[in-house]
Amino acid sequence: MSDARLAIVGAGGHARCVAETAVLAGWKVVAFLVDIELPTDESAVAMPAPVLFDPDPLGRIRAEGIDNVAIAIGNCAARHRFATAALDGGLALPVLRHPSAIVSASARVEAGAFLSAGCVVQPAASIGMATIVNTSASVDHDCVLGDAVHICPGTHLAGDVRIGHRSWIGIGSCVVERRSIGADCLVGAGSVVVRDLPDGSRAWGNPARIQVARRNNP
């Protein structure tokens, strides 16, 4: 795969993690593309490939003849939007898996998922399109994660957990077995989820309690 070119949408810290994992997997990262001008402090960070501004980054990628793209945007709704547009536009979203990630052969991992260093995905788990399983997080058996979910570093999901599209599970959180978290939810850092959460919930604490219930994206 040494000749395979990969463009990355995004140019923040998460994009650097994605790029490093991609290189370890044999990809050649050729550019980072952003659709907004970066603040001076962010644009000054050394990147392993050029950072290009374009109001239509996916169009720019297609025009450059690049077939593969990674959507390295932390915001779940934005990542979902870009990933869907990339697939609809004929671009490929490779699964990027760090060499230290442990992923069961029976797990299902959809296009554009990012499996970070030290994460564990157990048997019969399902990881949705453009979902992030971040550093040292674990997803136990039979879990089902929707599209563009973010399982933050050090988070642990027990068996048979369901998480809806675009939900964000904060760093160091735990979800007990057979719980269901709806779409567009945000679970605060270090929370322990022991009850189901409906779509649009904002919840945190031990045990996690709903603070606001609405349907806006996180």
Tokens for 182, please give them: 């709806």
The answer to whether residues 26 and 46 touch, using CB atoms and an 8 Å cutoff, is no
Enumerate residues 6+ apart whose C-beta is below 8 A from 60. Answer: 33, 52, 54
- CA angle, residues 119, 120, 126, in degrees to nearest 5: 110
The answer to whether residues 168 and 184 touch, using CB atoms and an 8 Å cutoff, is no
DSSP string for 103-136? E-TT-EE-TT-EE-TT-EE-TT-EE-TT-EE-TT
The answer to whether residues 185 and 153 touch, using CB atoms and an 8 Å cutoff, is no
- Is 150 catalytic? The answer is no
Neighbours of 195 (CB within 10 A): 13
134: nearest Cα among 112, 123, 119, 156:
119
What separation in angstroms does the CA of 1 have from each of 24, 45, 172, 198?
A: 11, 28, 35, 42
Q: Cα Rg for the chain, rounded, in angstroms?
A: 17
Q: Which of 14, 141, 150, 165 is catalytic?
A: 141
Give the residue numbers annotated as catalytic, written as ranges: 141
